[in-house]
Chains A and B, each alone.
Chain A
Amino acid sequence: MQTLLRPFAIKSSGDLARIGVILALAGLILFGALRYDNFLSPFNILSFLRYNSMFALIALGMAFVIITGGIDLSVGGTAAMASVVAALLSPYHWAAGLLGGMAAGFAVGALNGFIITKMRIQPFIGTLATMLAAYGTGLLLANNQSVSVSYDTGFTVIGQDDFLGFPIPAWIGLAAYVLGWLVLEKLPVGRHILAIGDGEATAGLMGLKVERTLAAVYLASGTLAGLAGVILASQFGAGQPTEGVGWELFAIASVVVGGTLLTGGSGSVGATLAGALLLAMVFNILNFENGLGWISLSAYWQSVIRGAFLLVVVVLQAKLMARHRAI
């Protein structure tokens, strides 16, 4: 009986968490709008979107990986390496930088897929190793220092300019999320990904191409991380081989806050975006609060608050799941 009910219980608690994150995001925006004068100013909104699009991209890839029951710890290292590759290629053509960075991410994703599906190594440890390898490669290519990008080929437009009044990184992020939503909700492969997360063996018995789907998911995650690296290089004018530390954890936190269960088999693209925005919003609000002058929290508080946030969410998630399992 319990096993029969389990899928439903998990799904409904996931739904609750998803509604929760959207409510929390709305509440936070309302709080900010009422409390700070310039919170809803175009400048704040646009710079918020410009800066946080990279993290949203990585969180999207991570959501897919986590829905399959895996994890991708290599995204931060991949983004760092891709930013170096993009910066090195940017003098030739802006597209060379863009495609080169994405290709670097694609390569790490392919390696992850191979290690996980062919060598059958747990995603956690396999992507931990490729994270090290990606950092190492980035540092080697960059000679241990940041590589400045070319300002002559228009490469910096990708990260710094606007299109129709919105930052280009935000458009890229939006496009990726729409595509991700289509894949997960509307295409057969989305069902396959969910089924694999529910149980690889069963999915295989149903005739789904488990290995190929898994490999594709890691490819997507790697490529998105590569894209984030391109934006990083373009936005800050340099490929940064030591950047990206802890990005994977930010992405995991976004996915978890978005109500996606780490056990796989369920998850939502929209709620992941809400989760990423929510975590980013916390910093934004913190900056404003500092600006008011009532409190003076150093930047170091950010990670404390981020951790506390994650704690509250996972504990709530666990409680919800326990309650649903008990019913």
Chain B
Amino acid sequence: MTTIETPAPQPSGTLSSGSRLFSLASRYGTFVAFLVLIVFNIAVTPNFLSWQTLNVNLTQVATIVIVATGMTLVIATGGIDLSVGSLMAISGALAPMIFMGQFWQVDNMAFAVALAFLIPVVVASLLGLFNGLLVTRFAIQPIIATLVLFIAGRGIAQVMTNGNLQVFKNEGFQFIAMGRIAGIPAQVVLMIIIVILASAMIRYTVIGRQIIAVGGNEKAARLTGIPVKRVKLFVYMISGALAGLAGLVVVARNSASDANLVGLGMELDAIAAVAVGGTLLTGGRANIIGTVLGAFVIQLVRYTLLANGVPDAAALIVKAGLIVLAVFIQQRADRH
């Protein structure tokens, strides 16, 4: 797994059996939970082992994973990004407006579709940059800095669309959600590419190491010459851009864009995936693969409950318990 931590090596001999349990649970807990869920479903849920089940779960988890990857990077620097859901709404509102010719006459559809991919993602990343500027320039706590766009962002999307549902049918644009590449849904391919790129960045690039260093000990990072502010700006931009991308996937999947609903509650799902996936919420770690597993666990729990007739509301309670348990185990393991 791509877990990279600020070094805190400890001889395993000094660990008591209790704390060893916690450290084992923190390292493999999410994976074990994932396996248990799979085995349980194979045994209990009818038709679990089918392409359709796989497809449903993969397509539903893809947007969470895409957003949660950005969230992992932000959290690794010790920050948080509450604005992701609202940014999804903005980008989801922008794209159809572009290819449906609400801003300018569409003469060349291919070009318009290309812009419908490009512009919303750029706008979302600029809004991410705005978050980053509030955090770095004005030293505003991330939870408050991103609260601004959390509140205002959805309003902006609603104002742009006047709160109306935008219904559309556009094969080129909807390829991102409906298309298949080598039989795999396009959004799943997108998710895999993003996860691989992010993991590689954390592991092999300077900026990746700098992200971990900033979250591990900001003061030390600054003193060693790491451009702390630039690193933070970068992660908030990435988080914004990925949220924008996820917004495109969601509206393309629905053939409609509803600014009131696109990305609603996504910040919670993403944070939950990161927490369950084993990235410490205090920063200094970025476990991208863990986040993916975390997202899958949350998705599978929900699917398991729904497929077995448990109401969605109960799934919320289970998700809450899962988050608390995961963070509790993480912190216990970390303290020893």
A interface residue numbers (CB < 8 A to B)? 71, 115, 119-122, 124-126, 128-133, 135-140, 144, 246, 249, 252-253, 256, 262-263, 298, 300-308, 310-311, 314-315, 318-319, 321-322
**In the complex where A122-B281, A125-B281, A303-B152 touch, is A298 in contact with B162 (Cβ < 8 A)?**
yes
* Distance in angstroms between the alpha carbons of A122 and B281 in the assembled complex: 9
B15 within 8 A of A: no
Residues of A within 8 A of B323 (CB): 125, 128-129, 132
Checking B138, B163, B314 against A300 with a beta-carbon cut-off of 8 angstroms, the contacting residue is B163
Task: Report B-chain residues with C-beta under 8 Å of the C-beta of A132.
Answer: 268, 316-317, 319-320, 323
Q: List B119-163 residues whose CB lies under 8 Å from chain A.
A: 134, 138-141, 143-145, 147-156, 158-159, 162-163
Is residue B9 contacting chain A, with contact meaning CB distance below 8 A?
no
CB distance from B142 to the nearest CB of A (A): 10
Q: Please name 14 further chain A to chain B contacts, defined as beta carbons within 8 Å, in addition to the given A122-B327, A249-B151, A300-B155, sorted by A numbering.
A: A128-B323, A129-B320, A132-B316, A133-B321, A136-B315, A136-B317, A144-B313, A253-B151, A298-B163, A303-B152, A307-B151, A307-B152, A315-B138, A318-B138
Residue B328 CB within 8 A of the other chain: yes
Determine which of B149, B155, B314 lies in contact with A136 in the assembled complex, contact meaning CB atoms within 8 Å. B314
Asked if B311 contacts A121 (CB within 8 A), the reply is no
Would you list 15 pairs from A and B whose C-beta atoms are within 8 A, ordered by A residue?
Answer: A121-B324, A122-B282, A125-B324, A132-B323, A136-B319, A249-B147, A249-B150, A253-B151, A301-B155, A303-B154, A303-B158, A308-B152, A310-B148, A311-B134, A311-B152
Q: Does B235 reach chain A (CB closer than 8 Å)?
A: no
Residues in B with CB closer than 8 Å to A310 are 144, 147-148, 151-152
In the complex, the answer to whether B311 meets A119 with C-beta atoms within 8 Å is: no
Cα distance A131–B317 when bound, in Å?
9
Across the A-B interface, the 8 shortest Cβ-Cβ residue pairs: A307-B152, A136-B316, A303-B155, A139-B313, A300-B158, A133-B320, A304-B155, A136-B317
B328 in contact with A129 (CB, 8 Å): no
Q: For this complex, into which size category does the number of interface residues on chain B fall?
A: 35 or more
Write out the residue numbers on chain A whose beta carbons fall within 8 Å of the beta carbon of B162: 298, 300
Query: Which of A71, A129, A135, A298 is within 8 Å of B324, CB to CB?
Result: A129
Q: Is the pair B320, A306 in contact by a Cβ cutoff of 8 Å?
A: no
Q: A319 is contacted by which of B134, B138, B151, B321 (Cβ under 8 Å)?
A: B138
Residues of chain B contacted by A131 (CB below 8 angstroms): 320
B331 interfacial contact with A, CB 8 Å: yes
* Closest residue on chain A to residue B274 by CB atoms: A125
Of all chain A residues, the one with the shortest Cβ separation from B282 is: A122
Please determine whether B155 and A302 come into contact, CB atoms closer than 8 angstroms.
Answer: yes
Query: B274-312 vs A: 1/0 string, CB under 8 Å?
Result: 010000011000000000000000000000000000011
Judging by beta carbons under 8 Å apart, are A246 and B151 in contact? Answer: yes
CA distance A115 to B320 in the complex (A): 12
Rounded to whole angstroms, the CA-CA distance of A112 and B324 in the bound complex is: 11
Query: Complex: how many Å from CA A144 to CA B314?
Result: 11
The smallest C-beta distance from B333 to any residue of chain A, in angstroms, reads: 13
Q: B residues bordering A, Cβ < 8 Å?
A: 80, 134, 138-141, 143-145, 147-156, 158-159, 162-163, 268, 271-272, 275, 281-282, 311-317, 319-321, 323-324, 327-328, 331
Most buried by B among A310, A311, A321: A311
Contact B155 A133 (CB under 8 A): no
Asked if B144 and A262 sit within 8 Å, CB to CB, the answer is: yes
Q: A132-B268, A139-B313 are in contact. Are A303 and B151 (CB under 8 A)?
A: yes
**Once the chains are docked, how many angstroms separate the CA of A308 from the CA of B154?**
13
Is the Cβ of A125 less than 8 Å from the Cβ of B327? yes
- Contact present for A121 and B155 (CB under 8 Å): no
Closest B-chain residue to A318, C-beta based?
B138
With A125-B281, A303-B152, A306-B151 known to touch, is A133 a contact of B327 (CB < 8 Å)? no
- Contact status B152-A306, CB under 8 Å: yes
CB-based contact A135/B140 at 8 Å = no
Select one of A139, A249, A252, A314 contacting B145, CB under 8 A. Answer: A314
A129-B320, A132-B317, A136-B314 are known contacts. Are A315 and B147 too (CB-CB below 8 A)? no
Cα A101 to Cα B179 with chains together (Å) = 49
B151: shortest Cβ distance to chain A, in Å? 4
Measured CA separation A125–B134 after assembly (Å): 22
A140 and B315 CA atoms in complex are apart in Å by: 10
B313 neighbours in A (Cβ, 8 Å): 135-140, 144
Residue of B nearest to A302 (CB): B155
Chain B residues within 8 Å of A122, by CB: 281-282, 327
Complex Cα gap A129–B315 (Å): 12
**Contact status B148-A314, CB under 8 Å:** yes
